[in-house]
Structure 1
Amino acid sequence: MTSTPSTAKTNAPEPDDGAVVQTTAGTVRGAQLGPHQLAFLGIPYAEAPVGERRFALPVAHEAWDGVRDATRYGATPLRDYMAGITLIPEPSYPGDETLTVNVFTPSIRPETSLPVLVWIHGGGFTTGSPSSPWYAAGTFPRDGVIVVSVSYRIGLDGFGVIDGAPDNRAVHDWMLALHWVRDNIRAFGGDPDRVTIGGQSAGGTAVLTLLSMPSAQPLFARVIAESPGWSTGERSEVAISTSRVATLLKIAATRDAFAEIPERDVFEAQQTSQKRGMTLAWLRRLMRGGSSMSWTPVADGELIPYAIDDALARGTGADKPLLIGANANETDAVVLGEPAALDLMPRTLALRLVGLGRSARHYARVTPGRSRRMLGSAATDAVFRFTTARVLAAKTGSVYAYDFRLPSALNQLTGHCMELPFVWDCLGGENVEASTGAHPPQEVADAMHAAWVQFIADGNAPWPDYDADGERRGWRVDRAPRTERIFDRERELIALEKRAL
């Protein structure tokens, strides 16, 4: 499920002299992009993170004179030599000024301010782009929602624990971008009091991190987390990842030492340090609650006081409605690609080798398939579905859960990222068929997209709150979405393993 970022076609907007907006830093001119929206692309919210600013906290962009062209995407932290990890088309653009936002508004501005979706892209915090054509499809602006897609520093530059550099630099990027939205979105027709932060995969982890942060609470009203990966928030784990890269580069893990190393060399060492693939040790770490990513936000006691589940259990973000869910077979295909000889291993033994204790026998009973298929389910559970279940158990206040189970026509699996073209209602978009297979059902896109628009607009979904009356109900999305109990299996397995440890 990999792709290589490129500077491929992006449906270049047509300049529109009427698309001129005054921001706090200066005037920008956007363009018409398709029949439904205006696009304001590559607006910098921070100074370029180069030189002395490379491992520093972001600084708000200085003001400019005249009218700044915003008809082309800006530079991206994703570079053309960085391999993508999903089927999402994710273009890269060269340049230094990489901390930008893209704003998509309806072509015709209504009289009242509109709700806003601020989208933080995924990519394991090591790749991904805010400039995917899926995000520029125009369907949310068509339906009265302004979209803002955000770039941020990725990999070691954004998340590495480096001696002499502040922690959580990418999280500070998100915060500065949200401050930019609060201060500027009204000029684009948006309502700063109706901002939803949303993201998928690592982007889902990002918005859960923001939900867990007291200082972020005034900057958004609701949260959408699609297939969030688990992050323990352990500073020591990210420090180990940083140390491995420094060792490969034969330098000390300090700000001054890393500042002397070109970006590409750091990336290549970072990739080498992570080339461990699907191993039983990797699965064991995940099943024990370890992070699914080498580079993540860390609980630093200040900006991020607590790990996500701890913060939510303490009531942080309780007043923010949350829409959260996961797909049925997020990473199953990765394990199914392992040698068939793995199927010769007894199922219960395989589960014990990946860290399950006395609950292994029960896990095998409730998880179908031979060893490879079962371990694929274990990986999906450990990284994504258990994350959603943990949040459902910890979060107080309104929570709307979904379980996406529409099978792909290609392999009958519901893989990672597959829900996105339905949510964004872009089934005819670039590379969608490589995920969904031919003829994905438009009626599912109609239902999911409408539900997301409703949630962004008023904080409600067309199905019950997950824990209303203790029913634990949510939306099971197949060819005919319906309301039923969901994530019971995952919550039961987590509880069993806790008792077994």
Structure 2
Amino acid sequence: MPRQTDPVVETPAGAVRGLRDGSGERYRALPYAASPIGAGRFAPPVPHPGWSGVRDGTRPSPTAPQPVRDFGRLDMVPYFGPGWVPGEEYLTVDVHTPAADGGRRPVMVFVHGGGFVTGSNRAALYDGTAFARDDIVLVTVNYRLGIPGFLDLEGAPANRGLLDVLAALGWVHDAVAAFGGDPENVTVFGQSAGATLVGALLATPEAGGLFRRAIIQSGNGTGAFTPEQAQRVTAAAAAALGVEPTAEAFAPIPDERLLAILPALSGLDLRTSTATDPLAGLSPFSLVLPVQPADGLADGPARDIDLLIGTNTEEGRLYLAPQGALESTTEADVLAVTARTHADPEAALAAHRAARPDETPGELRSAVLGQALFEAGTTRMAQAHARISGGRTHVYSFGYRSTALGGRLGAAHTVELPFVFDIADQPWLHGDTRLLGAAPAPAGLAARVHGAWVAFANTGNPGWAPYTRQRPEVEILGG
């Protein structure tokens, strides 16, 4: 039953009731677009029709259809959340605000990761308590995943998951003032696939005016598929379903069947005469673009956007350590992943070996993965932004080594997230098979990282010198 003290906010679509607690006010499952059902799963997002009366904003929404992901010995539930929670209305946002009081606070809009196939804003890692404490309005976004979100189909717009994020930003622009936020001071930030989507927004003309700042955490500015690569995935999906590769043919197929064929899409060879596999075979889905986001920044709002961008120092370990592959990797395995991701694998592997002469095959494989999946594209994006933005680029490197899995996880992909959200002391993140390991988080690191993100959202300056062509400054966090 609603309490008389529960806050009610009037949004452009209707009134919504939230919950007030010691951390501020929370409003959940707010639709920014109509439900993507049937043929609508392959159509652009359209505005929600709104509602009469007062909507219940106290419960989480359903999530996008997605498969279960297993990371071996590492508990990644705080990252992936509950998985698929069926329900039609999942194009939603959650809002955590200090107060819906007409204030003009900075707004931060978070886009989750998960390889374009998994994840949601229900994941425990995306707790907005610390941001609300620091007078930030946090908005977390769900978007379409997998085949509905990213499969390239005749008769459907490409990159529907990206279109969803654009629609969510439009909702923020129109509605966030009612929650105490400033629609003219919006920072969009994301991690992994979410960060790659944020990078694409920088090169998307339609994103102009929807945000002022951007943070790219372990994304890939060169992670998009070419149209030829995307068509290989589409052909494999159509063959697995026994239908034509069109939106019309896919429309009547239930979500359960679309999820069931995903194993048939894993491991596809996406190398072409002009491109390597930007995701190293780890996901059959990505953005589909004629040029990489890092090469198309001049086409979008990037020159007017403040950018904070960086990676972790041992990104690739997430894909090896939990499965025991750091120890079992052979020289052939290292060469195979290098061949997937480099036009001249022998030369690339020689360069990695020269830089790391004492590393094991597993450590080399991790380095190759990290460089190909995140570091190379991040560097290219940072350099491209620095060329056009006039001192608006700030770069970091996150080096704190998690003690999880007997210390094998290290500064892997996702390890920075508890520090960004200032929840690194939470007990559910600690233990040998949990993200931060058995050791306590280092004193002060979460305050430093989270504080930098908050400062950037307020001013565009996280607290260190900008990255320029003349002085490519990189701030070390936790190294």
TM-score of the aligned structures, taking structure 2 as reference length: 0.87
Counterparts in 2 of 1:406 and 1:261: CA distance versus 1, 3 Å = same
Q: CA deviation at 1:66?
A: 0.7
1:93-120 residue CA offsets vs partner (Å, 9 max, x unmatched): 32111111101101484x7410000111
| Alignment-derived partner of residue 267 in structure 1 | 259
Is 218-227 or 341-350 further displaced after alignment?
Answer: 341-350
Structure 2: distance between partners of 1:315 and 1:60: 23
Question: Contact 1:103/1:147 (CA < 8 Å) preserved in 2?
Answer: yes
- Equivalent position SS for 1:401: strand
Supply the AA of the counterpart residue of 1:57. Answer: P
Residue of 349, 353, 356 corresponding to 1:364:
353
| Alignment-derived partner of residue 294 in structure 2 | 309
| Alignment-derived partner of residue 92 in structure 2 | 100
- Equivalent position SS for 2:188: strand
Structure 2: distance between partners of 1:16 and 1:244: 55
| Alignment-derived partner of residue 288 in structure 2 | 298
Q: CA deviation at 1:78?
A: 4.2
Question: Contact 1:15/1:71 (CA < 8 Å) preserved in 2?
Answer: no
| Alignment-derived partner of residue 422 in structure 1 | 419
Q: CA deviation at 1:53?
A: 1.4
Counterparts in 2 of 1:286 and 1:101: CA distance versus 1, 3 Å = farther
Structure 1: distance between partners of 2:205 and 2:53: 38
Segments of 5+ residues of structure 2 without an aligned counterpart are none
Structure 2: distance between partners of 1:298 and 1:52: 20
| Alignment-derived partner of residue 13 in structure 2 | 25
Aligned-pair identity in percent equals 32
Structure 1: distance between partners of 2:215 and 2:395: 10
Supply the AA of the counterpart residue of 1:125. Answer: F
| Alignment-derived partner of residue 45 in structure 2 | 58
Q: CA deviation at 1:137?
A: 4.2
Supply the AA of the counterpart residue of 2:240. Answer: L
Structure 2: distance between partners of 1:170 and 1:315: 18
1:322 pairs with 2:317: no
Counterparts in 2 of 1:58 and 1:287: CA distance versus 1, 3 Å = closer
Question: Contact 2:204/2:300 (CA < 8 Å) preserved in 1?
Answer: no
Structure 1: distance between partners of 2:150 and 2:95: 25
TM-score of the aligned structures, taking structure 1 as reference length: 0.84
Q: Trace 1:357-396 onto structure 2 (pairs within 5 A).
A: 357-368=346-357, 369-395=359-385, 396=388
Q: Trace 1:276-295 onto structure 2 (pairs within 5 A).
A: 288=276, 290-292=278-280, 293-295=283-285
1:74 pairs with 2:61: yes
Supply the AA of the counterpart residue of 2:90. Answer: T
Question: Contact 1:20/1:30 (CA < 8 Å) preserved in 2?
Answer: yes
Counterparts in 2 of 1:219 and 1:55: CA distance versus 1, 3 Å = same
Supply the AA of the counterpart residue of 2:33. Answer: A
1:346-370 residue CA offsets vs partner (Å, 9 max, x unmatched): 9899967964244543331112402
Structure 1: distance between partners of 2:19 and 2:247: 40
1:83 pairs with 2:84: no
Counterparts in 2 of 1:286 and 1:374: CA distance versus 1, 3 Å = farther
Structure 1: distance between partners of 2:153 and 2:95: 33
Supply the AA of the counterpart residue of 1:452. Answer: W
Question: Contact 2:236/2:264 (CA < 8 Å) preserved in 1?
Answer: no
Question: Contact 1:286/1:383 (CA < 8 Å) preserved in 2?
Answer: no
- Equivalent position SS for 1:440: coil
Supply the AA of the counterpart residue of 1:394. Answer: A
Structure 2: distance between partners of 1:452 and 1:375: 31
- Equivalent position SS for 2:199: helix
Structure 2: distance between partners of 1:239 and 1:24: 39
| Alignment-derived partner of residue 226 in structure 1 | 217
Supply the AA of the counterpart residue of 2:23. Answer: H
1:312-353 residue CA offsets vs partner (Å, 9 max, x unmatched): 266751110100110111123534633856446698999679
Question: Contact 2:9/2:15 (CA < 8 Å) preserved in 1?
Answer: yes
Residue of 179, 184, 187 corresponding to 2:170:
179
| Alignment-derived partner of residue 401 in structure 1 | 395
Counterparts in 2 of 1:262 and 1:107: CA distance versus 1, 3 Å = same
Structure 1: distance between partners of 2:98 and 2:279: 39
Question: Contact 2:217/2:310 (CA < 8 Å) preserved in 1?
Answer: yes
Q: CA deviation at 1:15?
A: 5.2
Supply the AA of the counterpart residue of 1:222. Answer: R
Structure 2: distance between partners of 1:316 and 1:338: 41
Structure 2: distance between partners of 1:61 and 1:358: 52
Question: Contact 2:265/2:284 (CA < 8 Å) preserved in 1?
Answer: no
Q: CA deviation at 1:405?
A: 0.7
1:441 pairs with 2:442: yes
Counterparts in 2 of 1:283 and 1:106: CA distance versus 1, 3 Å = farther
| Alignment-derived partner of residue 243 in structure 1 | 235
Supply the AA of the counterpart residue of 1:39. Answer: R
| Alignment-derived partner of residue 49 in structure 1 | 36
1:25-59 residue CA offsets vs partner (Å, 9 max, x unmatched): 100000024x2121100011111101231211111
Question: Contact 2:80/2:123 (CA < 8 Å) preserved in 1?
Answer: yes
Supply the AA of the counterpart residue of 1:71. Answer: T
Aligned length: 454
| Alignment-derived partner of residue 325 in structure 2 | 338
Counterparts in 2 of 1:476 and 1:170: CA distance versus 1, 3 Å = same
Counterparts in 2 of 1:365 and 1:186: CA distance versus 1, 3 Å = same
Structure 1: distance between partners of 2:100 and 2:185: 19
| Alignment-derived partner of residue 134 in structure 1 | 125
Q: CA deviation at 1:235?
A: 2.2
Structure 2: distance between partners of 1:23 and 1:346: 54
RMSD over aligned Cα atoms: 2.8
Supply the AA of the counterpart residue of 2:236. Answer: R
1:194-240 residue CA offsets vs partner (Å, 9 max, x unmatched): 00000000000010011111110210000001000342341222221
| Alignment-derived partner of residue 488 in structure 1 | none
- Equivalent position SS for 2:302: coil
| Alignment-derived partner of residue 147 in structure 1 | 138
Structure 1: distance between partners of 2:429 and 2:126: 13
Question: Contact 2:236/2:265 (CA < 8 Å) preserved in 1?
Answer: yes
